[in-house]
Chain A
Amino acid sequence: DIQMTQSPSSLSASVGDRVTITCRASQTISSFLNWYQQKPGKAPKFLIYDASTLQNGVPSRFSGSGSGTDFTLTISNLQPEDFATYYCQQSYSTPYTFGQGTKLEIK
């Protein structure tokens, strides 16, 4: 199975900040990497696919990059609604695996 490791596990930031979350795969997954946002008690929301393509309706302050084993999610100009937990997920092969999550909290 492909292991996905996110860092950091938690992150404190302020409104207006720029933050970056890293996701590393245990083997190469090309660009087959997706990102999700989850708020407490809610279902995850799909943000980015194929490492860098924004899903329709996702604000442009979200961006993704990377290929191979190393990926990043960057959120510029943090807004109050962005404070949530973020997960990466590889779609290279089954079993599809997620990172352990990065909790983004308000400083």
Chain B
Amino acid sequence: EVQLLESGGGLVQPGGSLRLSCAASGFTFSSHWMHWVRQAPGKGLVWVSRINTDGNRINYADAVEGRFTISRDNAQNTLYLQMNSLTAEDTAVYFCVRDRRGGRTAFDNWGRGAPVTVSS
């Protein structure tokens, strides 16, 4: 069974930093592109970032470019999201998401999400 377990969320002050982790199990982590998707309270889904299997192809949404860094450790089956210079607009649940293999991107497995609140 595919499992994605996020951790590292919490309350942080504006301008602060937070690092999310996503522990993957039940599948060959190193064979899948991975993503972060976020959802602000009461709002819709917003794609944040993606990383390829080797970690050398990365893309970000404009809203987080230059502040967030996605990375992965295939030996530890873990995905990361380093978030710096946080603002209230970054308050959201952050989902770790697996990309299905083959064909175009589709988010076929989701973690439960890590809540991040940016507030003073």
User: Which of A's residues lie within 8 Å of B, judged by CB?
Assistant: 1, 32, 34, 36, 38, 42-46, 49-50, 55, 87, 89, 91-92, 94-101
| B83 → A minimal CB distance (Å) | 17
Q: When A50-B103, A95-B59, A95-B62 are in contact, do A44 and B45 touch as well, CB less than 8 Å?
A: yes
| Total A-B Cβ pairs within 8 A | 61
Stretch at the interface among B8-16, B68-76, B104-112: B104-112
CB pair B107 A34 closer than 8 Å: yes
B95 at the interface (CB under 8 A from A): yes
CB pair A98 B44 closer than 8 Å: yes
Partner of A91, one of B46, B104, B111, B113: B104
Partner of B61, one of A49, A95, A100, A101: A95
CB pair A49 B103 closer than 8 Å: yes
B100 at the interface (CB under 8 A from A): yes
Chain B residues 39-90 with CB under 8 Å of chain A are 44-47, 50, 59, 61-62
The distance in angstroms between the C-alpha atoms of A100 and B39, with both chains bound, is 11
The distance in angstroms between the C-alpha atoms of A72 and B78, with both chains bound, is 36
Closest to A96 in B: B47
